[in-house]
Amino acid sequence: MVALSVAVICFGIIVPMLPEVQIEYFRRATDCRLSGETACASQASTAYGITQSLSSLGVLLLSPYYGKHSDSHGRRPFLCAGLFAQVLPFLALCTWNKDVRLFYVLQALAGFAPAPNAILFTVVADRVSPTERLQSFGCGAACIFAAFSLGAGFSALLQPLLGAGGLLRASTFTAVAASVVAMVLLPETLPAGNQHEQPRVVRSKSLARILVVPDSSRNEELLRSIAAVGLLSLLPEAGTTTIALFYAKARLHLSEQEVSLLGAHMLCIVGAGGFLWQTVGIAGLRRLCPSTLWVYQVALVANLLHMLGYVVLWAPWVLLLNAAFAGGPLAQPTILRGLVSEALPA
């Protein structure tokens, strides 16, 4: 767990610097230099958005497959494969002279590998009873957000001292080392009796089948509703998050260094907000609300306020204030996992 936390801290350091590295690469092109800074940021934003879309497509298509086979073959091999796929793009970015083309390719392919965060939550589900899963999911996500917030804070403090290049290399190699240690030390949590058993049929169904194919089963109807609402509510947030710092640069006319520092401060606040929502927020709402569905509705309201913040963006402090509302949208996957766990308690 310590090794995983160190890896997440390193990712928290790296992520705020990605816009600066990408814009710097696109500035090497003559046409971008002649067009100005906004054109460089626009090209980088478009390329990164396409990369993230392809990565998300891989998650959409293959997550049911990985979930099905982790139920019969164990969690550890899928978690190790996912960790390797996550660190490889950043390692290539550091060792390939900051050539983001290879980074984009590997980042897109990483989505077709098992998602480490999804496997981590199945590990949590293996260890706790169905009635305790929502709270346990929240605690697990809170640890991730706390580590990420700490990493973003380190990024804001160390960037002026080490520069983006030096900090990127140091953080990446540390993340690789921590991930390797985690791969070696991670235990298998799937009970021995469950391995090599055929999982329940519903778990092997794709998202498309759950959304489209009619089924009289009450659980299938609930899963269809959860999948549809989750897809519609998380899609705008996922798209906006991908381009938020590029958008801030173009809207506020910031330099790359200012964008990196603003991103570090913003992600530090996002991580802290996510931690509070996953701990105090979900626990408090669980006591006040009669059902998990009501908890999710409150998170949807926070999501709406968060999206409106981008519309009225006129100063860096507005972006930082808006980051404080990000905890609600970031809590939605945890709450959705709780709803699914209630529908499929086994």
Q: What is the CA angle 67-231-271, rounded to 5?
A: 80
Q: For residues 72 and 222, which has the higher predicted lDDT (pLDDT)?
A: 72
Residue 208: the pLDDT is 46
Q: How much of the chain, in percent, has pLDDT values that exceed 70?
A: 79
Residue 36: per-residue pLDDT = 55
**pLDDT tens for each residue of 315-325:** 777 777 777 77
CA 316, CA 31: separation in Å to the nearest integer?
29
> Which pLDDT score is estimated for 267?
80
Residue 43 or 214, more confident: 43
Q: What's the pLDDT tens digit per position in 115-154?
A: 888 888 888 877 877 777 777 888 888 888 888 888 888 8
Nearest partner of 207 among 181, 186, 225, 189, judged by Cα: 225
- Does position 196 have pLDDT exceeding 50, yes or no? no
Phi/psi-derived region of residue 291, left when phi > 0, alpha when psi is between -120 and 50, beta in every other case: beta
Task: Please give the pLDDT value at position 214.
Answer: 45
Residue 96's pLDDT band (boundaries 50, 70, 90)?
confident
What pLDDT is stored for residue 324 in this prediction? 74
Domain ranges for the chain: 2-188+216-343
Q: Is a pLDDT exceeding 80 seen at residue 284?
A: yes
> Which residue would you say has higher pLDDT here, 98 or 268?
268
Q: What pLDDT is recorded for position 200?
A: 46
Largest CA-CA distance found in the chain, in angstroms, rounded: 64
Using an 8 Å Cβ cutoff, are 16 and 152 in contact?
yes
Q: Per residue in 208-226, pLDDT tens?
A: 444 444 444 556 666 667 7
**Residues 334-343, mean pLDDT to the nearest whole number:** 76
Judged on CB neighbours under 10 Å (0-12, 13-18, 19+), 42 is buried
Instruction: Give the per-residue pLDDT at 305.
Output: 80
pLDDT tens digits, one per residue of 236-267: 666 676 677 777 777 777 777 778 888 888 88
pLDDT of residue 114: 87
> What superfamily would CATH give domain 2-188+216-343?
MFS general substrate transporter like domains (1.20.1250.20)
**Which residue is it, tokens 């030390």?**
185
Residue-level pLDDT at 35? 54
Query: How many Cα atoms are found within 13 Å in the side-chain-facing hemisphere of 267?
Result: 33
Q: How far apart are the first and last CA of the chain?
A: 25
pLDDT surpasses 50 at 20: yes
pLDDT value at residue 109: 92
Length of the chain: 346
Burial 268-283 (b: 16+ CB within 10 A, else e): bbbbbbbbbbbbebbe
- The proportion of the chain whose per-residue pLDDT surpasses 90, expressed as a percent, equals 1
Cβ–Cβ under 8 Å, residues 45 and 104: no
Choice among 1-5, 166-170, 202-206 with the minimum mean pLDDT = 202-206
Encoded amino acid at 214, one letter: P
